Amino acid sequence: MGKDSNSGELEAVMRALEIFPEDIRIITDSQYVRKGITEWIIHWKLNDWHTANGTKAKNIEQWLYLEKLCQG
């Protein structure tokens, strides 16, 4: 997986959801994680994983896994 700070923030949320798979609330000060999973991922998927400025989204595999963990 990635090694930047955004990747680390994603990793922390994923680990929490793996440890506590029941219905939990994640509280984060990370705009990247919060907006990424609630807003941006929808647009990235519609735009072949490209951001609003046309660059390829980062940490795609992590986003897909986090989305899977959040389903249900």
Per the DSSP assignment, residues forming a β-bridge with 50 are: 56
Q: Is residue 17 exposed (0-12), middle (13-18) or buried (19+ Cβ within 10 Å)?
A: middle
**pLDDT tens readout for residues 13-43:** 999 999 998 888 999 999 999 999 999 999 9
pLDDT exceeds 90 at position 11: yes
Alpha helices (H) in 1-72, listed in sequence order: 5-19, 31-35, 41-46, 60-70
pTM score: 0.88
pLDDT at 1 over 50: no
- Cα 51 to Cα 41: distance, rounded to the nearest angstrom: 9
> How far is 11 from 26, CA to CA, in rounded Å?
13
